[in-house]
Amino acid sequence: MRLTTKGRYAVTAMLDLALHGDQGPVSLADISERQGISLSYLEQLFSRLRRQKLVSSIRGPGGGYQLSRGADAVFIAEVVDAVSESLDTTRCGNKGDCQQGEKCLTHHLWSDLSDQIHQFLSDISLGDLMKKREIQVVATRQNLRKSEQDSQTINTDRLIDQASA
């Protein structure tokens, strides 16, 4: 299986959105800062997620994104599928032309594995992940780091204001 950056980042961003969505719409800039994903890449991903109705956008001041339904009703396979990510473990794209135009000896094994992986991810919701202690620990650490960075920015701005006064 080859889950590329696109699928991994989409799941990470959606989990961040689920973790912070109780405070209102979440900006992509905040997700970008917490997760270290470029803003332009997030914009591309969220365009696809919005088209698949997994998120909705809120315009204006205080705007951002929110889940279109509860975190317990958004499954990881949906997120991966929404960004056109393949969970295919065959070398032929599951076309069955792996060995000179015909199925190879192990085609069905790898095809079945792909199905198992997709089913596994279909059974895990964002809500399930949010309940995991290790995810809560990481989210807390990220929030503390962001708060410290925000405080440093405010202090720097104050120093600049005082110096120019």
pLDDT of residue 150: 72
Which two three-digit tokens encode residue 151? 């405080």
* pLDDT at position 27: 95
> Token match 């998120």: residue?
55
- CATH code of the domain occupying 5-87+111-131: 1.10.10.10
Q: What is the pLDDT of residue 163?
A: 67
Of 7, 86, 4, residue with least CA distance to 45: 7
For residue 23, how far is the Cα from the chain centroid? Answer: 18
pTM (two decimals): 0.82
123 C-beta neighbours (distance < 10 Å), count? 11
pLDDT of residue 61: 86
Residues of the chain with confidence (pLDDT) below 50: none
Alpha-carbon span 102 to 106, nearest angstrom? 12
pLDDT tens for 18-50 read 999 998 999 999 999 999 999 999 999 999 999
Q: What is the pLDDT, as a whole number, of residue 126?
A: 98
Please report the pLDDT score of residue 147 as a whole number: 78
